[in-house]
Structure 1
Amino acid sequence: MYRILIVDDEPMILKGLAVFLQQSGMDIASIRQAANGEEALAAIQEGLPDFVFTDIRMPVMDGLALCARIEEMNVPIQTVVISGYGDFTYAQTCISYGVKEYLLKPISKRDLQDTLRKLVQRAEAVKTASSYLSVAKADEWIQEMEQAVYYLNQERVGELLRIREQEMGSYQWPDTERTKMLVELHVLLEKKLKARDVNILLPPFKPEQGMLFSTVYRYFADGIRETLCFLQKRRKGKLRDPIEEVKKYIEQNLGSEISLEEAAELLGLHPNYFSVMFKQMTGETFVQYRTKRRMEHAKRMLGEERYRITDISYAVGYADHSNFTKTFKKYEGISPSEYRQKLGI
């Protein structure tokens, strides 16, 4: 389905063209309207149209300036200029701004349908070619990147990241579509790496809506580089078993409020990466494991009459006694004092 934006400062022209488009028989998702170039640019920022039909003579920002701005944006929009002026100079200028069609007022239904047919054919051809090219290149890229990461070829990883960024930057797609492709690449690459070694993980990759593609790609590339760095440390013996290291650290600091970020920093890993790795290797989140160890230690101390319950609470990292009681009861099913009574203390 195609999204269309009509730009004209005459309400009757806007209304008439909208009716013509609705009666064209084309599969239309939406028809939006703007009274000048500035309004049109704002509408394009809100949602990318497939086709823009614009007049030339308009206040605030005219049609030629609008066409020039669209051309600079490097987005997959086909622009059609509609004008009552048959001056050849206008046509020449429009072509230089990437305008696909030039129609003269008054527009007939037949002229409009012919133009729409050309736009649709062009859009479908580009979509098919881009789709085939992107899928084929993506598959090849994943194969090469998986090998480069696994065999610690840092130079090749950097080269592949640059190649992919350039290729995706050349696609005439909106940032949202390119971001979706990156998410798919991330999933496929992680599957490939885990087939080699179940302990190889890529950091979580969940771009926020509205992020620029350049930002999203940097986020994506940094995750791959971090995985490469982790593998290098592990294979050279510079990184002891990360989970065992963290478990020891938790055990030695049960009375402190150890955060996931602090544990990740201890290993030189990104918190998101560490969080996923910890859950995969232990079956528990970092917080769940830390709480379990605190409660196990609390049970041991409760078995010794010399410790007061408030002292035990502080010893396992709970300054708030009521919070300790609530957590213990959730973990053990009974309160600390009830647990002691069961032990006969």
Structure 2
Amino acid sequence: MYTLLVVDDEPILIRGIRSFVDFDALSINEVLEAANGEEALELFKTHKPDLVLADINMPKMNGLDFASAAKALKPDVKIAMITGYDYFDYAVAALKTGVDDYVLKPVSKNDIQELLQKLIGKVQEAHRQQEVTKLVDGLIQLTDSEEETTGYKYQIQQEINTNIDNIEFSLATLASKLALSTSYVSTLFKQLFGTTFQQYMIAVRLDRAKLLLLSTDMKMYEIAASVGFDDPNYFSAAFKKRFSLSPNQFKEKSRE
């Protein structure tokens, strides 16, 4: 759910937005109002809204100054400017300084609805990118720390990364690669990773599946195969057990 701040010194415009925008369809559950930039900035500091619609030409603090201050407080806020043709050049300049979009007056119901939808799309994309970055950083930490670049732990991790999509990869295969007995590798693995080989492989594969769900449009059976599951139904069941959401539910939620 999102919070929207509307900033304009024309009450009729704010009333119009409140009356004709379908906030429920956009998952906007709170709408704040301000008549000038200074008032808007105080509201912004308190509520940290996700979305902002602001006029450029306002008393006390203009829209561009407000937008700059708001972005400094919350860089990921999505801001669109509402302005007349007389201020078109300012709107273009605003886009170059971090404002996300603009619309020219007079505005229609569709103008505002589409503008908000675009801003929400940018919020969702930013969230997806943050999630992908977190997952990638986690994978890098698993493979690149100094401790893990020496000895068996590093070798095991490298084999796992290489065989993430290999359905046939097993503890016996790993033991053969390391030229050790399967029973010894089983004990060693639990000492190094704090869990069994099978549990660890499932966790790593499902984490990789999350990354693919967030960053690609691959079909579920393609993702399952690419992370070493030969049965898409088993993949979905394992994913839901680990994350309490099915792969499709996770993908849908990431878009919200």
Q: TM-score, structure 2 length as denominator?
A: 0.52
Aligned partner of 2:75 in structure 1 is 75
Residue 139 of structure 1 and its aligned partner are, at CA, apart by: 4.5
Q: Relative to structure 1, is the Cα distance of residues 193 and 84 closer, same or farther in structure 2, using a 3 angstrom cutoff?
A: farther
For 2:23 and 2:144, locate their aligned partners in 1 and report how far apart those are by CA, in whole Å.
50
Letter in 1 for 2:21: L
Q: Tell me the secondary structure at the aligned position of residue 58 of structure 2.
A: coil
Aligned partner of 2:246 in structure 1 is none
Letter in 1 for 2:67: C
Q: Tell me the secondary structure at the aligned position of residue 138 of structure 1.
A: helix
Superposed, 1:116-127 pairs within 5 Å as 116-127=116-127
For 2:109 and 2:84, locate their aligned partners in 1 and report how far apart those are by CA, in whole Å.
16
For 2:23 and 2:6, locate their aligned partners in 1 and report how far apart those are by CA, in whole Å.
15
Aligned partner of 1:34 in structure 2 is 34
Aligned partner of 1:46 in structure 2 is 46
For 1:146 and 1:31, locate their aligned partners in 2 and report how far apart those are by CA, in whole Å.
50
Residue 65 of structure 1 and its aligned partner are, at CA, apart by: 1.0
Aligned partner of 2:172 in structure 1 is none
Aligned alpha-carbon RMSD (Å)? 3.0
Residue 10 of structure 1 and its aligned partner are, at CA, apart by: 2.3
Aligned partner of 2:232 in structure 1 is none
Residue 59 of structure 1 and its aligned partner are, at CA, apart by: 1.4
For 2:11 and 2:87, locate their aligned partners in 1 and report how far apart those are by CA, in whole Å.
24
Superposed, 1:35-114 pairs within 5 Å as 35-73=35-73, 75-114=75-114
Residue 23 of structure 1 and its aligned partner are, at CA, apart by: 5.2
CA contact (8 A) 1:9 1:36 kept: yes
Residue 144 of structure 1 and its aligned partner are, at CA, apart by: 5.3
Q: Relative to structure 1, is the Cα distance of residues 142 and 56 closer, same or farther in structure 2, using a 3 angstrom cutoff?
A: same
CA contact (8 A) 1:67 1:97 kept: no
Residue 91 of structure 1 and its aligned partner are, at CA, apart by: 2.1
Q: Which runs of 5+ in 2 are unaligned?
A: 149-190, 195-256
For 1:15 and 1:140, locate their aligned partners in 2 and report how far apart those are by CA, in whole Å.
50
For 1:79 and 1:50, locate their aligned partners in 2 and report how far apart those are by CA, in whole Å.
9
Q: Relative to structure 1, is the Cα distance of residues 32 and 22 closer, same or farther in structure 2, using a 3 angstrom cutoff?
A: farther
Letter in 2 for 1:57: N
CA contact (8 A) 2:78 2:122 kept: no
Letter in 2 for 1:54: A
- The structure 1 segments of at least 4 consecutive aligned residues displaced by more than 6 Å after TM superposition are none
Q: Relative to structure 1, is the Cα distance of residues 57 and 142 closer, same or farther in structure 2, using a 3 angstrom cutoff?
A: same
Q: Which runs of 5+ in 1 are unaligned?
A: 149-191, 196-345
For 1:193 and 1:71, locate their aligned partners in 2 and report how far apart those are by CA, in whole Å.
45
Query: Does structure 1 residue 136 correspond to structure 2 residue 139?
Result: no
Q: TM-score, structure 1 length as denominator?
A: 0.40
Aligned partner of 1:299 in structure 2 is none
